[in-house]
Structures are given as structure tokens and as C-alpha cells.
Amino acid sequence: MTRRKYVVGNWKMHGVSSDLGEIHSIAAGSASVSNVDTALCLPATLIERAARSVSILPIGGQDVHWADKGAHTGCISAAMLLDAGAKLTIVGHSERREGQHETNEDVRRKAEAALAAGLGVILCIGESLGVREAGQAVGTVQAQLDESLPHAEVSAAAIPGQFAIAYEPIWAIGTGKVASPADIGEMHSALRDRLVAAYGDAGNEIRILYGGSVNASNAAEIFAVDDVDGALVGGASLTAEKFLPIVQAASAA
Ligand code: 13P
């Protein structure tokens, strides 16, 4: 099955007003690559301004609460993200699983709430270095996926069109270390099996992105791996100069 490549930037806790020009440059450059879907997931404070000024590039959040509204200080609901102009959100990033103690159950509820509200979702999973070195990466990440996946009946229409997975080995994030093509291929194929087990044929249409130190130099090799449908890019998404070559590598893959 051919799936359109999807390259998404995750700005994490980077970006203030003076970076809007960079966002415009990324939007303009991405728009000229017609065979790749792109998006930028920004800090909450920039979403509305970015979304209002760059209609050609989907803007997303980096997290969402599962409740519609209520006493959840500091949190953002799916309705609020939509109201600000966001089209998608990341859920379950390892920096939130670790830093904010989010569980698979939390991640599943967030994904379900976002899909039900009409937001796209990128659900992140990935193993620690200790798990990889113990030879338990595939089983561990498969179990993480199984427990984090939105239940099929919650938003059947949104899966697969609005839903993607990002496999991000924790030890590869921000370290300059990248998983080998063989290890990425093994993991993505194992995750594909779980998606098909969960959703039947629709599981074949869900895009599985790789994340972890993706840059202009390694993107082509990563995109050549079977079942790699794009990338979730951190550091190299902060400038058009670094991000656009990754989008172009996806276009050529
Ligand atoms: P880096 O590309 O900076 O390694 O970050 C990857 C990531 O965590 C994207 O969500």
C-alpha cells in the first residue's frame, strides 16, 4: 500500500513571536512540495497566530487534555486547540510520559478525545536505552502501542485518515544517535502488525513516522525503509533551512 509521506515538526518548548517569520518560511517551502503532507506542532502560545497567518501549513499542539473543559490548571482541551486554529495534536511524547508521568491509559484517552473532536493525532511511543540493550524493544513498544491505541469504535471514521503513530526511541531523541535502518524496519513492521490487529485493513493506511535525530543528512536513508511513512522532527524543524531538506527527502523517497 502506498501511503503519502508525512513530515511533522515538533518545536517542543521553543518559539516566540520573533520566530513567526521562520514558520512562514517553512510554510512557503513545504507548500511547494506537493506529494508530502507537512505540519508544525508549536507551543500553545504560538498556535493561534501561526494558524491565522499560514493557512497552507497545518498547525498543531503538542498535547491535549481528554476532558472538554473543567478544573485542570495549565491544560488545553481539544476544543481549545480547534478554536485556536490547530488541526492536529501530538499525544504521548516520551518527554511527557517521563516528565509528566503520563501513562498509556492517559495517552489513549487524550487520543480518543482529540479524534472525537476532529483533531488529527500523532501518537508517540518508543523504548529507553535500557530496554533496547536488554533486547526487549519490539515487545515493549508493541505493548505500549496496544495500550495507548484509541479504541476502534470511538472514532472509527477518523482512523486512519486523521491518525498517525510516531516511533521515537527515547535514546535517539536530541542525541544525534539514530536507530539503524534494520532496527527501524523491524520495529515499524512489528507496529504495523499491531495496527492491523487492532483496526483490520484500516491499520494498513495509518502512517508510522520515525522520530529521533532526523536531519537532512540521514532523512533519505530513513525514508527508504519499508513502513517508514515520514518523520517527527525536533531540533531540525526549528528552521526552514534544516527542515525543508527533510521534506524534500520525503518527496524523493
Ligand atoms: P529530535 O529530532 O530533536 O531528536 O527530536 C525528536 C522528537 O522528539 C520529535 O518529537
For the chain, the domains span 8-130+137-237+248-252
Report the pLDDT value the prediction gives residue 114, as an integer from 0 to 100. 96
Q: How many CB atoms are located within 10 Å of the residue 176 CB?
A: 10
Closest ligand 1 atom to residue 215 Cα is 2
Residue 200: left if φ>0, alpha if ψ -120 to 50, beta else—which one? left
- Residue with the smallest CA separation from ligand 1 atom 1 is 234
**pLDDT tens, the chain, 253 aa long:** 789 999 999 999 999 999 999 999 999 999 999 999 999 999 999 999 999 999 899 999 999 999 999 999 999 999 999 999 999 999 999 999 999 999 999 999 999 999 999 999 999 999 999 999 999 999 999 999 999 999 877 766 677 789 999 999 999 999 988 899 999 999 999 999 999 999 999 999 999 999 999 999 999 999 999 999 999 999 999 999 999 999 999 999 9
Phi, psi torsion values for 91, nearest 5 degrees: -135, 150
Report the pLDDT value the prediction gives residue 158, as an integer from 0 to 100. 73
Report the pLDDT value the prediction gives residue 153, as an integer from 0 to 100. 74
Report the pLDDT value the prediction gives residue 136, as an integer from 0 to 100. 97
What torsion do the CA atoms of 228, 36, 173, 15 make, to the nearest 10 degrees? -170
Report the pLDDT value the prediction gives residue 157, as an integer from 0 to 100. 67
Closest ligand 1 atom to residue 124 Cα is 10
Report the pLDDT value the prediction gives residue 156, as an integer from 0 to 100. 67
Active-site positions read: 93, 168
What distance in Å separates the CA atoms of residue 45 and residue 180, rounded to the nearest whole number?
A: 36
Q: For ligand 1, is residue 168 a contact (CB within 6 Å)?
A: yes
246: closest CA among 68, 3, 4, 5?
5
What number does CATH give the domain 8-130+137-237+248-252?
Answer: 3.20.20.70
149: closest CA among 117, 98, 115, 111?
111
Say how many Å lie between the CA of residue 124 and the centre of ligand 1: 11
